[in-house]
Amino acid sequence: MHIHILGICGTFMAGIAAIAKAQGHKVTGCDLNVYPPMSTQLEQLDIEITEGYDVKQVEIKPDIFIIGNVITRGNPLIESILNQQLKYQSGPQWLYENILYNKWVLAVAGTHGKTTTTAMLAWILEANGLAPGFLIGGIPNNFNVSARLPISSEESSPSFFVIEADEYDTAFFDKRSKFIHYRPNTLILNNLEFDHADIFDNIEHIEKHFHHLIRTVPNIGKIIFNDDSLSIIKVLKKGCWSKIEDFGSKGKWSYQKINENEFEVYFEQKSQGNLKWDLIGHHNALNALAAIAAAKHVGISSDNSIKALGEFKNVKKRMELLQSIKGINIYDDFAHHPTAIKTTLEGLRNKINNDRIIAIIEPRSNTMKLGKMKNDLLQSLREADIIFCFSKNLSWNPKILFKNITHATVMEDIDMLANKIYDSCRARDSIIFMSNGGFSGLQNKVVQLLKK
């Protein structure tokens, strides 16, 4: 079968492409914004990508068009597909009908930490011989690919699939959240805050969609949730038909910090062992608790999960150390939401103590572009000693937001910004780029300046 994917360079759709290719299908696609790491993954898979959405693409006559949620009515290619009554489907629906329908699905949902926690859980299963399939919204360094099919096992054994369960909408013709299609046996609810202001009206609107997800979990399944999230507790109280297990400050699963890279794991106040790893921050400790709990639901002991996470290498663009040059550490981080920015910077501050943090942010998500959280953004940057904001295509003026912050600079020219960052840094600084996109290659520009 020939599958042509519209919006193929998105993290989810690139994963669909990888899985479809592994199934033996011919896969092609198109997109407007092509940048690493997904463009690199698609290139390595030898998947042909067309730039843009020219109507001539219908002439390649695929068996089906898979439509990403970035595609809207008015797009010339989708209008041609509709007018000619060609076969099309959303990515989540295709995934369920072709891959997930007969698998034990472990899904990770929440406003923050989905990608990292999904990668942790997939790695735990992999390290313990379960060879899961997975689809992750990033590229985990333990696998170097964002998606794969389960590696075949004996027919008597269940086949596992670990998936990042996004609450964003499915497609222009299906406004349900993507995760409603996945029907998990094991569900992690990491946290829940207001996000995606372009499709959700308020927190109550998001809570409604999360409850739709809970309704799909069977009563033999298990929901693992963060008991520090009031919104998640509120959602569960709307009705829950599955087993539940909590993690967090008052949960069955908890932890005690030993140092910035080590903590002790507890289940029902009994020690399960110490986890020593490369990651930092309270948020990552909670992610680990959720992954350990989910792995236990499929039969993996706590100590085996802890051992596996000791070898976990994180995900590209999640506090990824790009370079260490002249005593300056340069990090790349996804950071799409003020809470994610805050927790990341707090973790970094605990690691480097009084050394300087230079935070470079690009408010790029649809929510951030709309300015719904600009005041929260200001508060989230409190740990930064120097702030740079790259301003582009925003509906609000960041110069007004940062006007009273003497250590903040707003710039619109990427080359001028690179030079300004270079002029501002010194040995022992930590530079952290925070964007959910490619940042117009700014990271590499700064690296090259420092190398010179």
**Within a domain: 441:** yes
- pLDDT tens column, 50-103: 999 999 999 999 999 999 999 999 999 999 999 999 999 999 999 999 999 999
Q: Is residue 36 located within the same domain as residue 165?
A: no
Position 197 scores a pLDDT of 64
Position 196 scores a pLDDT of 67
Q: Is residue 162 located within the same domain as residue 214?
A: yes
Q: Is residue 160 located within the same domain as residue 86?
A: no
Q: Is residue 83 located within the same domain as residue 121?
A: no
Q: Is residue 156 located within the same domain as residue 46?
A: no
Cβ neighbours of residue 314 under 8 Å, at least 6 residues apart?
Answer: 116, 119, 140, 141, 278, 279, 320
For residues 186 and 157, the model is more confident at 186
Position 395 scores a pLDDT of 81
**CATH number of the domain where residue 332 is located:** 3.90.190.20
Report, as an integer, the average pLDDT of 312-319. Answer: 89
Q: What proportion of the chain, given as a percentage, has pLDDT over 90?
A: 75
Q: Of 309, 330, 346, at which residue does a domain stop?
A: 309
Between the CA of residue 277 and those of 120, 258, 320, 331, 397, what are the distances in Å?
12, 12, 14, 18, 40
**Within a domain: 341:** yes
**CATH number of the domain where residue 282 is located:** 3.40.1190.10
Report, as an integer, the average pLDDT of 93-119. Answer: 95
Reference 297, options 221, 228, 225, 354; nearest CA is 221
- The Cα 49–Cα 6 span in angstroms is 10
pLDDT range class, residue 260, cuts 50, 70, 90: confident
Q: Mean pLDDT for the chain?
A: 92
- pLDDT tens column, 280-303: 889 999 999 999 999 999 999 999
Q: What angle do CA 246, 195, 317 make, to 5 degrees?
A: 80
CA gyration radius for the chain? 22
Q: Is residue 86 located within the same domain as residue 103?
A: no
Whether residue 162 has pLDDT greater than 80 = yes
**CATH number of the domain where residue 35 is located:** 3.40.50.720
Q: Of 59, 91, 123, at which residue does a domain stop?
A: 91
**The tokens 């501050």 sit on which residue?**
349
Position 324 scores a pLDDT of 95
**Within a domain: 315:** no
- The Cα 136–Cα 124 span in angstroms is 14
Cβ neighbours of residue 53 under 8 Å, at least 6 residues apart?
Answer: 6, 30, 32, 71, 75, 76, 77, 78
Report, as an integer, the average pLDDT of 321-347. Answer: 89
- The Cα 230–Cα 98 span in angstroms is 36
Range of the domain at 385: 320-451
Q: Of 32, 59, 91, at which residue does a domain stop?
A: 91
Question: Considering its fold, how many domains does the chain have in total?
Answer: 3
- The Cα 302–Cα 36 span in angstroms is 35
Whether residue 193 has pLDDT greater than 90 = no
Whether residue 314 has pLDDT greater than 60 = yes
Q: Is residue 135 located within the same domain as residue 58?
A: no
**Within a domain: 397:** yes
**Within a domain: 314:** no
Contact 86, 62 (CB under 8 A): no
Contact 163, 149 (CB under 8 A): no
Q: Is residue 107 located within the same domain as residue 67?
A: no
**Within a domain: 11:** yes
Reference 275, options 253, 245, 251, 297; nearest CA is 253
- pLDDT tens column, 17-42: 999 999 999 999 999 877 667 778 89
Q: Lowest mean pLDDT of 163-167, 190-194, 359-363, name the range.
A: 190-194
Q: Is residue 169 located within the same domain as residue 255?
A: yes
Q: Give burial (CB, 10 Å; 0-12/13-18/19+) of 426.
A: exposed
**Within a domain: 164:** yes
Locate 43 and state its tokens.
């290139």
Position 46 scores a pLDDT of 93
Q: Lowest mean pLDDT of 38-47, 147-156, 344-353, name the range.
A: 147-156
Q: Is residue 125 located within the same domain as residue 222?
A: yes
Q: Is residue 72 located within the same domain as residue 115?
A: no
Position 156 scores a pLDDT of 53
Q: Is residue 106 located within the same domain as residue 183?
A: yes
Report, as an integer, the average pLDDT of 201-211. Answer: 92
- pLDDT tens column, 414-442: 999 999 999 999 999 999 999 877 788 89
Report, as an integer, the average pLDDT of 11-20. Answer: 94
- pLDDT tens column, 264-276: 999 999 999 999 9
**Within a domain: 280:** yes
Position 368 scores a pLDDT of 73
Cis amide prior to 150 (ω within 30 degrees): no
pLDDT range class, residue 157, cuts 50, 70, 90: low
Report, as an integer, the average pLDDT of 117-141. Answer: 96
- The Cα 189–Cα 227 span in angstroms is 10
Position 154 scores a pLDDT of 59
